[in-house]
Amino acid sequence: MNILKQAKTVGIIAILAVLAGCAGQVNESVQGPSKVESDAERAAREARQAEFLAKQEAAKADQQAANLAAKTAEQLRNNAMAADTLFFFGFDKSDLSQDALDDLDAHAKYLAADQSAKVRLEGHADERGSRAYNLALGERRSNAVARYLVIQGVNRSQIESISYGEERPLSLSRDENGWSRNRRVELIYQ
């Protein structure tokens, strides 16, 4: 945004400078008696020139903005690829942590900018408690992530979500360390 504003300002200054130059030339040519330009004619010509120059500048700014957008898309993609794809939860919980939100924002910006990108969300639970309940809990977690992405502007059709419950643990250690790694949603680009 800032760069765009700067570009516009530079454009306007350039237009003013050119107009000033033209005004000088006009003044000189007016000295010939055969070519007497009325005030009205002069104003019209100046307006045409100004319009032409403004168009040229606008085209230049558009080009700059497009370059910028391409750079931004690339940047959004890079940000998303660098962001975490594992999001962790408390026992029997499905609310997202503040940490998760920062990384999810990066994914959301990229997905919102590129509608052809698709993700799969796999919800998981730790082994404690019953398996069918954990399957539902895993779904609740993947849905929490999906909902957040949608709120950030991602199209629902870009997201596929599935729950594996406690059936695919990342860690096999049977303590809070292992369990906390297993209560997760994995975000996988397709």
Partner 1 sequence: MRLFIWLVMAFMLAMPARAELVIEITRGVENPIKIAVVPFRVKSAGAFDVDLARLIESNLERSGQFVRVRRDTMLSLPGPEDQIFYRDWRAIDSEYTVVGSLERDTDGLLVRFGLHDVYGERVLFAERIPGSSDSLRDIGHYISDRIYEALTGLKGIFSTRLLYVSAERRSEKDQTFKLILSDADGGRPQTIFQSSEPILSPAWSPDGSRVAYMSFRGKRAGIYVQTLATGEVQKVSDFPGLNSAPSFSPDGRKLVLTLSRDGNPELYVANLRTGQLDRMTNHFAIDTEASWSPDGRSILFTSSRGGKPQLYMMNVSDKTVKRVTFDGDYNSNGAFTPDGKSIVFVHRTNERFHIARMNLKTREIRILTETDLDESPSVAPNGTMLIYATSSEGRGLLGLVSMDGRVRVRLPSVSESVREPAWSPFFN
The residues in 147-186 that bind partner 1, with binding defined as CB under 8 A, are 160, 162-165, 167-170, 172, 174
Report the distance separating Cα 122 and Cα 187, nearest Å: 7
133 makes contact with partner 1 (CB under 8 A): yes
Crossing angle for the helix pair 39-82 and 2-29, to the nearest 10 degrees: 160
- CB of 109 or CB of 124, closer to partner 1: 124
**Share in percent of the chain as helix, strand, coil (round to 5):** 65, 10, 25
Task: Look at strands 86-88 and 184-189 and give their pairing.
Answer: antiparallel
Q: Which of 4, 41, 128, 189 is in the footprint of partner 1 by CB under 8 A? A: 128
C-beta of 48 vs 131, nearer to partner 1: 131
Binder among 129, 150, 152, 180 for partner 1 (CB under 8 A)? 129
Q: Is 94 helix (H, G, I), strand (E, B) or coil?
A: coil
User: Could you list the residues that contact partner 1 (CB under 8 A)?
Assistant: 92, 127-133, 135-137, 139-140, 160, 162-165, 167-170, 172, 174
